[in-house]
Structure 1
């Protein structure tokens, strides 16, 4: 009961923060996607309602096995093997140099999770698996799965220590060149679909909409997917990506293959210490970086961004959002909050906290754009008067 593919599924709840009032409209779905345990039939629904289902047992026993199985399948090349025509258990095991019995157990679980379909002794990839797991598919999350399996997974052993001390791992300080490469590949994988939506929906200043020549600063943008998405949409836009030298070393080839030439370029630097200049930029983006900084550091970045913006310029903080206390549950924002607390410096912030940094920098706040393709994530907008 409730241990198959439907045990963890998409469901819907209320808005992240129904009490928030903004000067600009909140662009969001009224029913953000959630991951929940859902019943397959009326009897299971009754059992859930009557608190007869040991939900913590599913969390403690089933879900860790599911996560590790998916990561190992990607790492061992199982998904690509099936795509290449190795479609029986023995053929997959032989191609991937795995034990046939263990491979059969793995394939059974992945079939229950809707990665494979099984007919007459043969496995085929589902539409979902073909798009998201294959190494060379444009929107594949393979890079993230490889990073999580080879680099991130051991970090979870330190969660107990983090809960006792509050001291995170600060992983950016300890990655070796190989791990930096895995990290950059993971960031590309994590950002692929989001960057496309960012390019379509990100608010931009009037000068950009009028196709005038405009300048963008992408703080910590490494792989450049967000900058590229906007530059492809607006011919007059050029973007400068500032990032740590070690990040640029691994990210430069990833940016180069996007073919944007001099319109999107890297500049080595440090978001915590660099002067961004004065009235130089029409648009500044800081994506997936605020959760690495303390509140005071984020407030200081916002101050320097405001100084660097031209009048009418826009500052976008693109982040996973920690739900407000008492708001509807949001599993992605809450889980990444704990994860970033463990692995970095701070964790996620609420929309109200992000807006407070922008207001302290004398930016006008209000507009929040929540992603349709990425639950728990939003663009928080500040504008220079």
Structure 2
């Protein structure tokens, strides 16, 4: 997803009113309209009954989806177009399950003005972490991106002397699986919260990699990670924490490395003025509205935490997308 600078009044207007198309798509997705249509052709009354919506309002939404090219209307009946059929119908191979998380993000992003005033998220969070639907949506969204990026990231790593890896905050296990596939003799441990690991296991089972990957429950901001690792992966993790939390996290990760081991941080790694990469600058606002302390960090900041943990030979590697790697070695 490229971020283009706004240069004309027309482009400015399109950016300002872009929320309308987003909201139309997300509402239709949340109501399950695309999946209810599937391969069928239905009228508005049928879809309203199937989605428990008011018939007139449902038809107006369906008409708007036709304008966006996601539905076609003929004789008062609606059907999916190829793009909606391929990507918005549950069960299809390219189904964008992560849009559940996108719908959740809508609820956080509308608080941006208040978050900027306060300097932190204003979203009230439940004390427990039992929202299974939201958790599944989040992991699905992360997997959609990570499963495409992980193999390309892993190809940038030196695995010659690596026999045991730890993937901290494994999520769907996309990086753990990419590491396992990259080197057949590699043993990988996927570390995440106890309520997340059953989902991790589902994704790993689906790819038939259970014999190659172990699972370790825990909170990456509490306790240690054991020892004996040649490579530890922190992919899309440091942006969730504040600086002090990251300093401690990286110190504990470094302590778990063997001598000669490497710690790999993959994230949006910002330039000194924090405007590049563009997606990282926007993502910093996502962290502002959604987390208590998260941010997008610079190479100087992340490198400083690595050096404080005793890591050496720190180097940055650019990835073929906006995120990058910072790698430090334990001597």
TM-score > 0.5, shorter chain as reference: yes
Q: 1:281 aligns with which of 229, 234, 239?
A: 229
Cα–Cα, structure 1 residues 268 and 368, in superposed 2: closer, same or farther, change >3 Å? same
| Larger RCO, structure (CA 8 Å, separation 6 or more) | 1
Q: 1:84 aligns with which of 26, 30, 39?
A: 39
Cα–Cα, structure 1 residues 125 and 65, in superposed 2: closer, same or farther, change >3 Å? same
Whether 2:292 is the aligned partner of 1:337: answer: no
- Residues 154-193 of structure 1 show CA distances to partners (whole Å, capped at 9, x for unaligned) of 334543332222233587763541x244223322233224
After TM superposition, the structure 1 = structure 2 runs for residues 322-361 of structure 1, keeping only pairs within 5 Å, are 322=270, 324-325=272-273, 327=275, 330=278, 332-344=279-291, 345-361=293-309
Q: 1:163 aligns with which of 111, 116, 124?
A: 116
Q: Retained in 2: the 8 A contact 1:181–1:250?
A: no
3-state SS of the aligned residue for 2:222? coil
Structure 2 gaps of 5+ residues are: none
Whether 2:330 is the aligned partner of 1:381: answer: no
Using the TM superposition, name which of 82-91 and 348-357 deviates more.
Answer: 82-91
Q: Retained in 1: the 8 A contact 2:150–2:175?
A: yes
The Cα of 1:126 is off from its aligned counterpart by 4.4
Distance in 2, matches of 1:138 and 1:216, equals: 30
- Residues 200-222 of structure 1 show CA distances to partners (whole Å, capped at 9, x for unaligned) of 332333436xxx7x111111113
The Cα of 1:72 is off from its aligned counterpart by 1.4
3-state SS of the aligned residue for 1:136? coil
Q: Retained in 1: the 8 A contact 2:275–2:281?
A: no
Distance in 1, matches of 2:268 and 2:80, equals: 30
- The answer for the alignment partner of 1:105 in structure 2 is 60
Whether 2:239 is the aligned partner of 1:295: answer: no
Whether 2:277 is the aligned partner of 1:308: answer: no
- The answer for the alignment partner of 1:41 in structure 2 is none
Q: 2:190 aligns with which of 241, 256, 259?
A: 241
Q: Retained in 2: the 8 A contact 1:323–1:333?
A: no
- Residues 317-352 of structure 1 show CA distances to partners (whole Å, capped at 9, x for unaligned) of 22234454275571x322221121222122221333
Whether 2:50 is the aligned partner of 1:95: answer: yes
- The answer for the alignment partner of 2:99 in structure 1 is 145
Whether 2:140 is the aligned partner of 1:188: answer: yes
Aligned length: 328
Q: Retained in 1: the 8 A contact 2:170–2:200?
A: no
- The answer for the alignment partner of 2:3 in structure 1 is 34
Whether 2:153 is the aligned partner of 1:201: answer: yes
TM-score (normalizing by structure 1): 0.72
Distance in 2, matches of 1:100 and 1:35, equals: 39
TM-score (normalizing by structure 2): 0.83
The Cα of 1:272 is off from its aligned counterpart by 1.8
After TM superposition, the structure 1 = structure 2 runs for residues 244-259 of structure 1, keeping only pairs within 5 Å, are 244-248=193-197, 251-259=200-208
Distance in 2, matches of 1:81 and 1:129, equals: 12
Q: Retained in 2: the 8 A contact 1:323–1:334?
A: no
- The answer for the alignment partner of 1:367 in structure 2 is 316
